[in-house]
Each structure stands twice: as C-alpha cells, then as structure tokens.
Amino acid sequence: MMLYSVDDDDKPMSKKGMKKQQKEAEKAAKKQLQQEQAAATAAGDSVAGDDYAAGCYGVMPMIQSKEKIDRNIVRVGDLTAARAGEKVWVRGRLHTSRAVG
C-alpha cells in the first residue's frame, strides 16, 4: 500500500510535487540553521577580548622630520669589497617598472 500526500485541493501529489516539497523543506531547514549560526557568531563577536591592534589605527602624528637621523648615504659607485659586511644606505630612483611573465 502506497501513501500519497495531498495538496491544497485534496488531490494526491505527484512524485515530482513531493520531491519539490521535500526540497523546499530542506532548503528552509538549511536557511534556519544558517540564521542560527549567524546569530551565534554575532553574539560571540560582541564578547571579543582585548584589541591588540589599538595603536595601529586612528589619528597619527604627522611625519615632520623632527629628529635628525645620522645616516651615511653611499653612492653605488663607491661600494667596494672593503665595505662588505657594513650596513649602508643607498638612495635610488626607479624610472620604469614592468611585470615580467
């Protein structure tokens, strides 16, 4: 004996109709689960701990060269083997930059 579901007009539903109804029910359950997870996540975010990056954003002071840093800028032509292992500052300018590949 087969059981048939009936639609709004008290007619037996076809197999396609039953599959469609089942699919809609699964879709609704999935949507409900996603909404519950989103609500749980939102509630968990409001209880977040300390902000470790608080000093990395906001109004920062302007860089106005208030301090003079002692730098020895060396010309590229003056770099020799005698300066190997020594930390030096080199100033340069790039005229054209293209991606290769």
Distance between CA atoms of 69 and 10, rounded to whole angstroms? 89
Compute the Cα dihedral for 61, 64, 70, 71 and give only its sign.
positive
For the residues 92-100, what does the mean pLDDT come to?
84
pTM of the model: 0.35
Per-residue model confidence as pLDDT tens digits over 22-52:
999 999 999 999 999 888 877 766 555 677 7
Q: Does 3 score more than 70 pLDDT?
A: no
